[in-house]
């Protein structure tokens, strides 16, 4: 090799290294090395993720974008698919608002199949559910009162619950057995009822209060219903002892077993428990409401399908979707998410199922700019451990939806940090006080996530998605997420210069 050629080779190598180095410096997520770059957002995030002991052996996916132009400013394994937990609801909410619209309502119909004469209905009475997750026991009482107002006091036929608006698959595909008896694993039916205005459809509230030492504690159910059987094997123990109660619903039944101990003088224990077969639960309450009005019938209370020729006596309408978004997103209501998935399937494909509903979700997400080829979606709520989303795709969705007409409804449905009101602060009401953060939380075993919008200290709005997987304790996640968001807010001005 000649000296000339050797020199040329060295020059070429130098230029290659120089260009490659500059190219790497421009990629988001690279740790800063120069004096000028130290303590920038990139440097601080990199160091925090590297040094946080509770992330040792875990996976931390982080994606940060400008809310103004969508530019990706930082990522840590941003294209790696991770379990989103309830961050999946960000996708479901966007798809529902796009598909159904902000004013969409869920009707419940009261129908008759027969003639009414002199207070006598010669035929069957139907209550047909069309997915309303906000139906309350008081609504069923009102239905009974209205039926009486229509002049019906005797029914020569059956009282029938029609839940055929959706299919009869009650549980989402990957729900684990230990979640089935809790409110967040409630069964999905087109005819369902909630115990209170948190709208946890398909559940009852079980309250356990201590009695005197050595006695069984007192147990109450709300709403009062004999659809649930309580087996109370618990005991009240000496005051000052540790509470050790276990409540569980026996699989395939509506028997709730209560075991363990509760100290005398202690606070009550309250749990929301899912019922087995929500349609039957509605019919039990409706049965009692009709009896309270003095309405009698000769047949039985059962489920079935209202004939097409049935006459609609009256229709009850739910709150619009724009209002439903508040309890859905603020309180992270799994049942609402799955109802919305089935409703989208029913409206678009005529089939209220997870399969058809998720087809609609994916189509709408693609329309909203997500790369659906990178996603694995199994439900609407995020309770499945098989759901997989890249942080960069979540942050991209949060950027794209800003241009939609329903964005303010979407944004305002997100929990707001530090706001005490449950229907404002939601799952962030005790977190990041003093910061302006609108974000969706997510938690399942080993997973904690947080994605949304933060106002940086320089006044700019920043989009972020933080997905922590393989945690030994998912309860460690919120503190880590909050610190990452704080770093973003404090350091964002530097990265924009």
Among 287, 276, 340, 302, which residue's Cα sits nearest to residue 106?
Answer: 340
DSSP code, position 427:
G
Q: What does the DSSP assignment read for 291-330? A: HHTT-EESS-EEE----TTPEEEEEEEPPPHHHHHIIIII
The catalytically annotated residue of 63, 83, 89, 130 is: 89
Alpha helices in 125-264 (DSSP H): 137-149
Contacts of 372 (CB under 8 A, 6+ apart): 362, 365, 366
Contacts of 2 (CB under 8 A, 6+ apart): none
Residue 240 exposed, middle or buried by CB count within 10 Å (0-12, 13-18, 19+): exposed
Contacts of 235 (CB under 8 A, 6+ apart): 214, 215, 216, 217, 260, 261, 262
Give all strands (DSSP E) within 229-366, no chain letters: 229-237, 244-249, 255-263, 269-274, 296-297, 301-303, 311-317
Q: What is the CA radius of gyration of the chain?
A: 27
Contacts of 25 (CB under 8 A, 6+ apart): none
Positive or negative, the Cα torsion across 218, 219, 225, 229? Answer: negative
| CB-based contact 110:313 (threshold 8 Å) | yes
**Nearest-angstrom CA–CA distance, 354 and 379:** 7
396 three-class SS: helix
DSSP code, position 331:
T
**Nearest-angstrom CA–CA distance, 304 and 448:** 42
Among 259, 289, 253, which residue's Cα sits nearest to residue 274?
Answer: 253
| 86 carries an active-site annotation | yes
Q: How far is CA 225 from the centre of its chain?
A: 27
The catalytically annotated residue of 332, 413, 448, 491 is: 332
| 117 carries an active-site annotation | no
Give the CA-trace dihedral at 476, 479, 484, 490, to 10 degrees: -170
| 440 carries an active-site annotation | no
The catalytically annotated residue of 63, 83, 86, 395 is: 86
Q: Which residues are catalytic?
A: 86, 89, 332
């Amino acid at each position: 090799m000649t000296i000339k050629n050797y020199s040329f080779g060295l020059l070429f190598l130098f230029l290659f290294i120089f260009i490659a180095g500059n190219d790497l410096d421009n990629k988001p997520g690279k740790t800063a090395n120069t004096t000028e770059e130290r303590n920038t957002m990139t440097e601080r995030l990199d160091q925090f993720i590297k040094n946080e002991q509770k992330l040792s052996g875990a996976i931390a996916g982080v994606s940060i974008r400008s809310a103004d132009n969508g530019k990706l400013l930082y990522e840590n394994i941003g294209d790696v698919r991770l379990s989103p937990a309830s961050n999946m609801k960000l996708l479901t909410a966007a798809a529902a608002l796009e598909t159904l619209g902000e004013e969409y309502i869920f009707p419940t119909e009261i129908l008759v199949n027969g003639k009414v004469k002199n207070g006598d209905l010669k035929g069957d009475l139907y209550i047909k559910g069309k997915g309303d997750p906000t139906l309350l026991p008081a609504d069923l009482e009102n239905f009974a009162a209205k039926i009486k107002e229509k002049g019906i006091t005797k029914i020569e036929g059956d009282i029938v619950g029609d839940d055929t608006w959706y299919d009869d698959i009650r549980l989402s595909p990957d729900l684990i057995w230990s979640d089935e008896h809790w409110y967040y694993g409630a069964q999905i039916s087109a005819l369902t009822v909630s115990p209170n205005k948190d709208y946890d459809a398909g559940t009852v509230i079980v309250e356990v209060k201590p009695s005197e030492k050595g006695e069984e504690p007192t147990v109450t159910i709300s709403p009062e219903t004999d659809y649930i059987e309580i087996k109370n094997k618990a005991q009240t123990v000496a005051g000052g002892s540790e509470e050790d109660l276990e409540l569980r619903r026996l699989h395939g039944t509506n028997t709730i077993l209560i075991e363990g101990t509760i100290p005398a003088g202690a606070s009550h224990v309250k749990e929301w428990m899912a019922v087995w077969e929500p349609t039957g639960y509605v019919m039990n309450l409706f049965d009692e409401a009709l009896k309270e009005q003095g309405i009698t019938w000769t047949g039985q209370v059962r489920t079935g399908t209202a004939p097409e020729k049935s006459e609609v006596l009256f229709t009850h309408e739910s709150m619009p979707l724009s209002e439903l978004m508040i309890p859905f997103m603020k309180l992270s209501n799994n049942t609402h998410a799955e109802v919305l998935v089935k409703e989208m399937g029913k409206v678009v494909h005529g089939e209220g199922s997870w399969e058809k509903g998720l087809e609609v979700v994916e189509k709408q997400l693609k329309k909203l700019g997500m790369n659906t080829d990178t996603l694995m979606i199994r439900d609407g709520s995020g309770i499945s451990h098989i759901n997989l989303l890249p942080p960069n795709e979540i942050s991209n969705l949060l950027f794209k939806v800003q241009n939609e007409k329903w964005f303010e409804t979407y944004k305002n449905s997100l929990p707001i940090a530090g706001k005490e009101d449950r229907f404002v602060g939601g799952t962030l009401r005790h977190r990041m006080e003093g910061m302006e953060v609108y974000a969706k939380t997510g938690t399942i075993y080993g997973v904690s996530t947080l994605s949304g919008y933060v106002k940086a200290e320089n006044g700019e709005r920043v989009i972020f998605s933080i997905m922590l997987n393989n945690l030994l304790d998912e309860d460690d996640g919120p503190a880590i997420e909050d610190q990452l968001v704080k770093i973003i807010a404090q350091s964002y001005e530097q990265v924009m210069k």
